[in-house]
């Protein structure tokens, strides 16, 4: 009996060892893909090459790193180059600004979304905190000129005046590029409006921080890829579309009603002139001559996934009213906290008591 018990023990140990070997071997094998692998939100970003417009230190670079934390940022000198870098496989993604809470829409990128075939696969919102930068040893009294992107200059206009600066304002292509230009040319009479990171990269001192006139300054960026992602319904999604309508009366009302009747919230609606057909000429039967109308494209963002039946039905109804419709992307909404800026925004818009 004892020998039998020892035999059983040896057998159990052997089985356990065999199971451990099998588990270890299985762990080394590639795991089969599941639906969740295809639908995973594009926020992991390991080793992705991400194109952005500007030079290192630009807010767009910060947005790219926020969207894809372990990416390799690829600077581009123009917005269109960022689009092309993804199309030509020089980059895996592009992260580009589409609107700012103070300056409004970046129209150039809306036009490029239509002329290129990339897909929006995500969005990221980045708080913008402007700084006044100059060479080490330079004081505010030494300045005769401030350079930056036109929007940054306009967003800091009142603060520059309050700082007592008697300086000219000069627009350049981007904020970090302004800092780079000062450092490269050793300009002792010029300051740049740019980010803290730009000061670190180009060896500039921060003369003043947080100089934007409005404390609540946020830019929304979209993440672009060659292929769309599979939409989901287990987290908040947003869908972006562009359409053009015909000559019938009340078409825009019907389009908006398609969303309202299904309780779908619109987060943005924007019209842009239709470049290839900017003017529509209509014979006026009631009066002599003809009537000329501007032709527009309408860009809409709405809070629903294309996997949601409501969103599918809304677009099906839209097709009855429009002459052109394109889905630019259905993607996860950026629900990450904005940090201290969110509290500032709430303070700015809170009712007086």
pLDDT of residue 17: 57
Closest CA to 147 of 185, 183, 127, 174: 174
Boundary (domain end) residue, out of 126, 160, 184: 126
On whether both 203 and 238 belong to a single domain, the answer is no
Residues 146 and 122 in one domain: no
Does residue 144 share a domain with residue 114?
Answer: no
Both 235 and 322 in one domain: the answer is yes
Structural domain includes residue 280: yes
The reply to whether 122 and 138 lie within a common domain is no
Within 8 A by CB and 6+ apart from 282, the residues are: 247, 290, 291, 292, 293
> Is 2 part of any domain?
no
**Cβ distance 284 to 306 under 8 Å?**
no
pLDDT exceeds cutoff 50 at 349:
no
H or E segment to which residue 189 belongs: none
Q: What is the mean pLDDT of residues 62-80?
A: 93
Model-level pTM?
Answer: 0.79
- 166-224: per-residue pLDDT in tens? 899 999 989 999 999 999 999 999 999 999 999 999 999 999 999 999 888 999 999 99
The domain that contains 194 carries what CATH number?
A: 3.40.190.10
Q: Which residues pair with 72 in a beta bridge?
A: 49
> Structural domain tally of the chain?
3
| Average pLDDT for 110-126 | 95
Note whether 73 and 112 are same-domain residues. yes
Domain final position from 106, 126, 146: 126
Active site residue 219: yes
> Is 60 a domain residue?
yes
Q: Is residue 88 part of a domain?
A: yes
Quick one: 200 and 107 in the same domain?
Answer: no
- Identify the three-state secondary structure at position 149: coil
- What is the mean pLDDT of the segment spanning 109-137? 95
* Same domain assignment for residues 140 and 102: no
Residue 142 lies in a domain: yes
Please state, in angstroms and as integers, the Cα–Cα distance from residue 131 to each residue in 117, 268, 298, 348, following that order: 36, 30, 36, 21
d(CA 242, CA 258): 15
Q: Are residues 233 and 280 in the same domain?
A: yes
Per-residue burial over 65-101, b = 16 or more CB atoms within 10 Å of its CB, e = otherwise: bbbbeebebbbbeebbbbbbbbeeeebbbbbbbbbbb
Assigned token pair, 82: 């960022």
* Residue 244: inside a domain: yes
Model confidence over 242-276: pLDDT tens digits? Answer: 999 877 778 889 999 999 999 999 999 999 888 76
Active site residue 221: yes
Cβ–Cβ under 8 Å, residues 159 and 213: yes
Which CATH number goes with the domain that contains 321? Answer: 3.30.70.260
Q: Give domain status of residue 36, yes or no.
A: no
In-domain check, residue 349: no
Q: 275 and 294 share a domain?
A: yes
pLDDT of residue 215: 84
From the list 159, 219, 243, 302, the catalytic residue is 219
Owning domain of residue 324: 229-332
Among residues 147, 181, 211, the one where a domain terminates is 211
Residue in 83, 159, 190, 221 annotated catalytic: 221
Tell whether the model's pLDDT for residue 241 goes beyond 90. yes
């Amino acid at each position: 009996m004892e020998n039998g018990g020892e035999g059983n023990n040896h057998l159990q140990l052997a089985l356990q060892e065999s199971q451990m070997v099998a588990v270890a071997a299985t762990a080394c094998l590639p795991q089969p893909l599941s639906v969740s692998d295809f639908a995973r939100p594009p926020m992991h970003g390991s080793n992705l090459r991400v194109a952005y417009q500007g030079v290192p230190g630009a807010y767009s670079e910060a947005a790219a790193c926020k969207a894809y934390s372990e990416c390799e940022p690829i600077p581009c000198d123009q917005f269109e180059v960022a689009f092309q870098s993804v199309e030509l496989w020089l980059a895996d993604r592009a992260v580009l600004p589409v609107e700012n809470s103070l300056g409004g829409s970046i129209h150039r990128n809306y036009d490029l979304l239509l002329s290129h075939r990339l897909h929006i696969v995500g969005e990221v919102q980045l708080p913008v905190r402007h700084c006044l930068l100059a060479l080490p040893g330079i004081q505010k009294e030494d300045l005769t000129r401030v350079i930056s992107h036109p929007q940054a200059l306009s967003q800091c206009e009142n603060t520059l005046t309050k700082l007592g600066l008697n300086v000219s304002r000069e627009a350049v292509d981007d904020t970090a590029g302004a800092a780079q230009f000062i450092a490269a040319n050793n300009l002792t009479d010029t300051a740049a409006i740019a980010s803290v990171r730009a000061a670190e990269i180009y060896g500039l001192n921060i003369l003043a921080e947080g100089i934007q006139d409005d404390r609540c300054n946020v830019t929304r960026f979209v993440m672009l890829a060659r292929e769309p992602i599979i939409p989901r319904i287990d987290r908040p999604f947003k869908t972006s579309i562009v359409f053009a309508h015909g000559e019938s009366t009340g078409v825009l009302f019907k389009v908006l009603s398609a969303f309202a009747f299904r309780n779908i919230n619109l987060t943005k609606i924007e019209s842009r002139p239709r470049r290839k057909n900017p003017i529509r000429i209509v014979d006026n039967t009631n009066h002599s001559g003809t009537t000329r109308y501007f032709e527009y494209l309408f860009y809409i963002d709405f809070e629903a996934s294309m996997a949601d039946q409501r969103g599918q039905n809304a677009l099906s109804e839209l097709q009855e009213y429009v002459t052109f419709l394109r889905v630019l992307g259905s993607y996860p909404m950026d629900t990450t906290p904005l940090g201290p800026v969110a509290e500032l925004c709430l303070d700015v818009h809170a009712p007086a008591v």
